[in-house]
Chain A
Amino acid sequence: MSLSAKQEKGISFLDSMTGHILSPFQNLFTQSVQSVSDGINHYFDLVNVSRENERLEFEVERLVNEKNALLERIFRQKRLSGLMSYKEERKKESLVATVIGRAATQWSKVVFIDKGTQHGVRTYSAVVTNSGVIGQIIHAGPTTSKVLLTIDSRSAVDSLFQGSRVSGVVVGTGEKLCKIKFVPNTAEIKVGDRVLSSGLGGVFPKGLVIGTVSKVVRKKQGLFQEITLAPSSDLSNLEEVLVFLS
């Protein structure tokens, strides 16, 4: 018993001594092995993370595109619902068309739409948006048509002022604004007056908004006022339009 007790005491002392001496090395080796192992594991993890990241980037890109497509669809839906409610209000046979191109020169203000004679579009049909008149068809092909905008220098629309019922002719200037000709100096016209189509000429139905007066100049000499008109629709950013078929 005493021997075994002595032996155990000696072993435990030796053990603890060995443990004390070895433990730093053991720790060192364990840590180094651990760090190498961690490094290898992390490397493989990083490879996986990199792949995952790549996949997620693709996913984000896809979702962004999808979101843009959905937003675009919502905006288009809003524009179309505006056009459709306008169409229902007017109770005229009409057709929604998409603008597919613009004039080939700087000086003419013409747009191309994706509807033609196959869809019932005819030359001199009125083209509008829910904001008002934008122009008329000057050439109808089988599947596409050419629309002369009201701001084109060759365009002229017979019109009348909503309040005073004075008539005039809205002519394009090739720029963003139009002019109203043949309004007598005696007529009471002020900035902000709305101008409507008069229905004369047979192209535009009566009462469609063409624009609002933005400038009035009364000359002392001369018979007519110089009136500038801002079109009701933004003619530089047309996307969908309504073509009156009858």
Chain B
Amino acid sequence: MYYFAQILIVIILFAIQTTWLGMCSIGGVVPDLALIWVVYCGVHCSRAMGIGSGIVIGILQDSLSGGLLGVNTLSKSFIGFFFATLKDKFYVEGVIPVAFFLVASSLFDGLVFYFSMNTVLKGEVASSFIYQSLPVYSIYNGIVGPILFLLFNQLNNWLRAKTSDPYMNPVK
């Protein structure tokens, strides 16, 4: 039940990302719901679940965006691994810490893409990417993220009440 619900959440997030979210774009930039979900899983779920969600979400994003040879798998896996492993070392609760870590994760995600495209994949990424799109993307994620975190918390608490999953950490 718990894992089924998680899969359903991921499907809904991807459906929203690929359809409605374009309406909320700021200068062509939209928030990355999948990235926010990976950070959430890294912080609130078990270590295996955090890393696993990073890998799965990354692969899904790669397959849904024309196969960037695993750029998203690389960045999302690393983000999932980072939060799942080091979540006890720092405090990711409250609006400001969540927003800060989401901005940092978004910057990392964008930089992985930028350097992969410009070095390994020999793509042509506009230089305005670094000083225009990437900051807007990071800040947008930082604003939307805490709201989604609250929503995911509510959802996870409800799921926890419905199922008794031993792998799931309590959500404060």
Contact = CB atoms under 8 A, between A and B. Distances in A.
B34 to A, nearest CB: 7
Contact of B128 (A106, A146, A175): A175
A138 to B, nearest CB: 5
A105 B13 CA distance: 12
Nearest to A176: B28
Given A102-B18, A103-B66, A104-B61, A173 B126 contact: yes
Most buried by B among A105, A172, A174: A105
Given A148-B66, A153-B117, A154-B121, A106 B126 contact: no
Interface string B60-85: 11001111100110000000000000
Interface residues of B, number: 33
B30 interface: yes
A115 interface: no
A10 interface: no
A82 interface: no
A104 B60 contact: yes
A107 B28 contact: no
B124 A108 contact: no
Majority SS at the chain B contact face: helix
A158 interface: no
Nearest to A104: B64
Contact of B66 (A101, A106, A146, A171): A146
B128 to A, nearest CB: 6
Size category of the binding interface on chain A: 20 to 34
B101 interface: no
30 contacts: A101-B18, A102-B19, A102-B21, A104-B17, A104-B18, A105-B34, A105-B61, A105-B64, A106-B30, A106-B32, A106-B110, A107-B65, A107-B71, A110-B66, A138-B66, A138-B67, A146-B66, A148-B66, A153-B117, A153-B124, A153-B125, A154-B123, A173-B124, A174-B117, A174-B125, A174-B126, A174-B129, A175-B128, A181-B124, A236-B22
Interface of B: 14, 17-19, 21-22, 25, 28-30, 32, 34, 60-61, 64-68, 71-72, 110, 113, 117, 121, 123-126, 128-129, 133, 137
